[in-house]
Amino acid sequence: MCVYGPVASNLSGRTLKVCPVPARTCTCSCVYCHHGATKKARGVRRDFQNRSVVLERILDVCGRSHPDFITFTGGGEPTLDLSLGWLIRETRRLAKVPVAAVTNGTLLYRQDVRQDLARADVVISSLDAGTEELFLDIKRPHGSLDFARVQGGLLRLKEELRGELWLDVMLVRRMNDGPEALKAIRTVIDQVEPDVVRVKVPFRPPAESRALPPSPEALAGAIRLLGPRARKFDAGEEPIECWESSSFNRVIGTICACRPIPLARAREIEGRLRSPGALQRMIEIGDLVPREWQGERFLYAGNEGTKKPPTTTRMGVRDVHHSARH
């Protein structure tokens, strides 16, 4: 679990980010994932840590940083955490701050997951494909998951949700940025009727080098095709506040445990925390690993950024049978 920020947010003002599951713990292994290859795709929910300790941490940071929103997100799939619903409810009740929850949508077919998410003020779900074929190509999900379940889950969530439902569409060049793929996604959007559709492009190093952003023209055309709710997601790296008055190593370590950070952003934090040389030392001892992508350098925790992506297109089915029990 890690808590970082607040960061400037697309939601409203500043949001505190909470990652309830360990990095690269997910139901999918998306070609564009900037966390690298998923450790082991899962279809089963479980508890990852003591939920009271997580809540205490959230309330502590929240009390010191006064965010406008708290977002459950992460380097993995937050709905894999069995305590997510409890954490959302208790965070809202005790912090008195609105809560958003991010999901890849793959577990929305489960009633317990929808009940957990229904406690949030905003749910942000991925929708990168409108067909089973593209869903498998882009998301590379666990063997128990399929596109029909995602679609059905989104429709049910929309009916049950009291708050807002946003959809995030990640466009990958020559995968889902063509007219046929976009029309299929649009069909699902029209069925689900979300409040907002955010159109994104890869903006950090992807798990697969072929997962490139579409051209600006293709992106503009895609936004038109995806309909009136679609808008371009501002992919710029958000400024990160340093609520930690302690060490630079701790701040950077916490952020990189959850996701890579651009070198320029890390340097900015180093300057703000008056820690000259600390960044270079972390790189030299291997706590941070640089990786270049599209002309920009990013830093990963340990060797996270250098992990080889998987070559399979679909995950194993070992957990499928267990998943039916939850």
List of residues contacting ligand SF4 (CB under 6 A): 26, 28-30, 33, 35, 38, 76-77, 104
Q: Which amino acid is at 143?
A: G
Choose between 246 and 294: whose C-beta lies nearer to ligand SF4. Answer: 294
Write down the least CB distance from residue 145 to ligand SF4, Å: 11
Write down the least CB distance from residue 30 to ligand SF4, Å: 3
The secondary element (H helix, E strand) that includes residue 190 is helix 179-192
Q: Is the peptide bond preceding residue 6 cis, with omega within 30 degrees of 0?
A: yes
Choose between 29 and 91: whose C-beta lies nearer to ligand SF4. Answer: 29
d(C-alpha 221, C-alpha 317), whole Å = 38
Write down the least CB distance from residue 137 to ligand SF4, Å: 13
Choose between 83 and 103: whose C-beta lies nearer to ligand SF4. Answer: 103
Choose between 71 and 104: whose C-beta lies nearer to ligand SF4. Answer: 104
The secondary element (H helix, E strand) that includes residue 85 is helix 84-95
Choose between 11 and 95: whose C-beta lies nearer to ligand SF4. Answer: 11
Write down the least CB distance from residue 260 to ligand SF4, Å: 12
Write down the least CB distance from residue 31 to ligand SF4, Å: 9
Choose between 121 and 208: whose C-beta lies nearer to ligand SF4. Answer: 208
Cα dihedral across residues 299, 50, 96, 84: positive or negative = positive
Q: Is 28 helix (H, G, I), strand (E, B) or coil?
A: coil
Picking from 68, 75, 77, the residue whose alpha carbon sits closest to that of residue 8 is: 68
Choose between 41 and 70: whose C-beta lies nearer to ligand SF4. Answer: 41
Write down the least CB distance from residue 78 to ligand SF4, Å: 9
Residue 156, number of CB atoms within 10 A of its CB:
15
What are the distances in angstroms from CA 121 to CA 48, 102, 105, 125, 164? 24, 11, 17, 13, 6
Q: Residue 12: CB partners within 8 Å, gap ≥ 6? A: 68, 69, 98
Choose between 76 and 98: whose C-beta lies nearer to ligand SF4. Answer: 76
Write down the least CB distance from residue 296 to ligand SF4, Å: 19
Write down the least CB distance from residue 80 to ligand SF4, Å: 10
Planar angle of CA 156, 153, 319, nearest 5 degrees:
145
d(C-alpha 61, C-alpha 67), whole Å = 9
The secondary element (H helix, E strand) that includes residue 212 is none
